[in-house]
Amino acid sequence: MRLLVLSLILLAAGGFHSAAKAAVPAECQDVAKKYPSLAGKTLHMGADPQTPPYASLDPENPGKLVGSDIDLAKAVFDCIGVKYEIQPAAWSGLFPAVLAGQIDLMYYLYYNKSRVEKGDFIVYMKAGTGAITQAGNPKHIISGEDLCGKIVATGLGSVEEAQMRELSTKCTTSGKSAVEVMTYSDHAAGFRLVANDRADIMLTDLALVDKTVADNPKTYVRAYGVISGFQIGVAVKKGNTELEGAILDAMKAVQAAGIQKQIFAKYGVDPSLELPAELKTN
Amino acid sequence: MTWPAEVSAYFWSGFLWRGALLSVEITAVAMTIGLFLGLLLALVRLSPIRLVSSAAWFYTWVVRGTPQLLQLVFIFDALPLIGIKFGSFTTAVIGFSLNQAAFAAEVIRGGILSVNAQQTVAASSLGMGPVLTLRRIVLPQAMRAILPALANDTIGMLKMTSIASVIFVDELTFRSQEIVGQNFKFFTVFAGAGMIYLVLTSIISLSQAGLERWLDPERRATLRLPRWLSGLAQPQALAAATLTQTELAALLPVAAVKSSEQAIPFVVCHNVWKGYGGRKVLTGAALTVHAGEVVAVIGPSGSGKSTLLRLINHLDSIDQGEITVAGRYVGYVKQDGRLKPTGGRARARAEVGVAMVFQQINLFGHMTALENIMEAPIHVHGLPRAQAEAEARRLLEVVGLTGHAHHYPQHLSGGQQQRVAIARALAVKPRLMLFDEPTSALDPELMGEVLSVMRTLAEAGMTMIIVTHEIRFAREVADRVLFFDGGVVVEEGSPSEVLDRPRKERTRRFLNLITQGTGVMPEAAAPFHASTRPS
């Protein structure tokens, strides 16, 4: 019952959004025609609202999600011409829900070998890692070389955690002190580790670091940033070819119209991180 | 905005309260289902059938032994692979109820075990079936032990719903984390959310206190009956004898027995054998009691007297032999020449009309004297409440306790309790009353009042089998005395035959022993309470 009411509200909200949205690129006409099976459907997308600037609560209206991924997703949905629902959930629950078919897709998942065995990816941006430290950079960290012997906070199970474990071994073999890795379960907890001097530095998504520094210049500073080799994509259940095709085509249209760059700029994400849309199935 | 203003703003945030409402909804539904399943599971765990109880044990083992987060993810994300797909709210309710069932089962089982097993025996002797006994007698008393743990579980669950954020349940903790993820004001946001939790858990704690108060018979009694009012009803020293025989007879179905079944013996025990774990207690005992007869059974402790009583109304099953009451088996069918116990024993007991009074008294601790008496007539025999209450009040009058109708057992003396127990047994209109050492647990000065009530009953024509050590009482009241030893009837006859001129050496020895304390011979052994029980 409750679910029904909730879905109706979300549906109504979703419908309102698609109606209010203007400026759909001309190429989108073809996308809608090419995938008629999606017409009239409601796509379910999951997002973790603890990942600004990609997805977070709208400070003006906490019932609503905003962010670059949210805007990009909406632009792509509108281009396909489908209704949609965006549901908030904890990050670790998102990809399992995609694989189980509880939701249709999620944004901002790092593409890698083991994940692509389970799901298909439409990559749309390059990953950047930012290192955030206390304002004034008291430990003088300016690159990854400086991390031996430091306390580094990373997300639990993240690529940064794996990199740091690897770096730690390198540090000790070359006679330097090991890296002490502290993991956190949500970004806010990680930032608190740095603010409270429990960690010297925190490694996470570059755009998130830049946004946090911009919002709290008295507390944090960016120590350094790197564009890593990783690609970030929309994850869908393996073999869902209609949906993959539609997202790929719509993403291409959105990128061609310059909409993705506009959205990135709006949320403080470096527009040069855009990656030409591409389907990855292995 | 100053920080207190900010905390207050988050505390009043509709966004957070909507998340809290979701937690409350999940907790309420899951707790209800979980308790129901937990009760079933607890009962299954208490089952004597090994396979059944092992299955329940296995369930509890798995569910308690694995993290709830993984269970939720499993239900939400793994079951769809085999075609079973639940939404997030449903998944949370399923996950939390299944978990609660496992924990509640152990709590409820502990509560049930904390209730004296004799309470069940007493209920059963009144004709109350297992389900009725559980609902009316065991659970209400177990609740006092169960409730604090369940309140703990409820509070725990309310807070634990936060783990359901991995399955798209957008509840209070997750919503506060979302706000922090956006503005990093963790202190004020979490303080506001914490206050919301405090409000909710306080409501649970207050409900717990209220329920505990309600379940406490003494405090409930003061709620129902103001002190000044209960003070008016002074205990009366009214003796049972003040009631006329005709008035008492009207309360008993004795007359009916006499006219229709006088011809055949009312109770027949033939070659009865019973052992407990290799120890033979009854070895071919035989006994015949006619309607309207009062039979006193005497004998050393451990001679099997009480066991025989328990077999007559089938509180225990016989190993060999036959027992009939009013010409029928109580809760047995005959199969291949042997008696085989059947279900529905309590019902059979009620139909035949056997009631029992115990040495340990066994009044229902959570009920007043009046409620104790009314229980079986209403719930076993389907009497309208008003009628049951009127009859119960008259029975209290019979046993001389008019002023104690609303007193709980713990406020009555042993003698008063035993008189209530007799009234309770009489309320089911029995045709046969079994007394199992009814005065042995009482102080000597309280025995008289109980024996006096029993004498009145005997005079009214009730069929009675009385296991007792009160030799003088047996002499006065019994039509027949049986001396029981070593699992068989050694000697029987009129009181003067058995007590004054025993033929058997064993009887003589026993009677000498039991009257030694007074230094007088049995026929002269005066007060009931002067006897010493043989060890």
Judged by CB atoms closer than 8 Å, whether chains meet at B85 and A90 is answered as: no
Between B533 and A244, name the one with better pLDDT. A244
| Residue A281 identity (one-letter amino acid) | T
| Closest Cβ opposite residue B186 in set A89, A99, A192 | A192
**For position A2, what pLDDT does the model report?**
52
How far is the alpha carbon of B194 from chain A, nearest alpha carbon, in Å?
17
Judged by CB atoms closer than 8 Å, whether chains meet at A188 and B77 is answered as: no
Sheet with strand B488-493: strands edge to edge: B354-357, B432-436, B463-467, B294-298, B480-485, B488-493
Residue of A94, A102, A213 to mutate, testing the B interface (most B Cβ within 10 Å of its Cβ): A102
**For position B249, what pLDDT does the model report?**
63
Calculate the CA B459 to chain-centre distance. Answer: 31
Over the stretch B333-362, which tens digit does the pLDDT of each residue have? 888 878 888 888 888 888 888 999 999 999
- Indicate the pLDDT class of residue A185, thresholds 50, 70 and 90: confident
**What's the token pair of residue B78?**
């793994």
Over the stretch B58-74, which tens digit does the pLDDT of each residue have? 999 999 999 999 999 99
**For position B245, what pLDDT does the model report?**
56
How many residues would you count in chain A?
282
Judged by CB atoms closer than 8 Å, whether chains meet at A49 and B165 is answered as: no
| Residue B22 identity (one-letter amino acid) | L
Q: Which helix (H) or strand (E) is A275 found in, with range?
A: strand A274-280
DSSP one-letter string for A189-214:
HHHHHHHTTS-SEEEEEHHHHHHHHH
Over the stretch B157-179, which tens digit does the pLDDT of each residue have? 999 999 999 899 999 999 998 88
Give helix B88-114 / helix A2-20 axis angle, nearest 10°: 160
The single residue listed with the structure tokens 């900010």 is B6
Report the alpha-carbon distance of residue B413 to residue B448 in Å, rounded.
13
Over the stretch B511-532, which tens digit does the pLDDT of each residue have? 988 877 554 444 433 444 434 4
Over the stretch A19-31, which tens digit does the pLDDT of each residue have? 444 478 888 888 8
**For position B33, what pLDDT does the model report?**
97
List the one residue out of B312, B411, B414 whose CA is nearest residue B368.
Answer: B411
Q: Could you give the C-alpha distances from A172 to A142, A147, A166, A177, A199, in angstroms and in order?
A: 20, 12, 10, 6, 20
CB A140 within 8 A of CB A187: no
pTM strictly above 0.80: no
**For position B526, what pLDDT does the model report?**
40
Task: Using an 8 Å CB-CB cutoff, list chain B residues near A101.
Answer: 80, 85
- Asked if pLDDT for residue A246 goes beyond 90, the answer is yes
**For position A5, what pLDDT does the model report?**
45
- Indicate the pLDDT class of residue B248, thresholds 50, 70 and 90: low
**What's the token pair of residue B233?**
């009803």
Q: Could you give the C-alpha distances from B369 to A75, B76, B239, B430, in angstroms and in order?
A: 76, 53, 17, 19
**For position B347, what pLDDT does the model report?**
85
Task: Using an 8 Å CB-CB cutoff, list chain B residues near A90.
Answer: 165-166, 174
**For position B251, what pLDDT does the model report?**
65
Report the alpha-carbon distance of residue B311 to residue B314 in Å, rounded.
5
Q: Would you list which residues of chain A are within 8 Å, Cβ to Cβ, of chain B? A: 2-3, 46, 49-52, 56-57, 59, 62-63, 87-90, 92-93, 96-97, 99-103, 186-188, 191-192, 212, 215-216
**For position B244, what pLDDT does the model report?**
56
Task: Using an 8 Å CB-CB cutoff, list chain B residues near A205.
Answer: none
Report the alpha-carbon distance of residue B127 to residue B133 in Å, rounded.
9
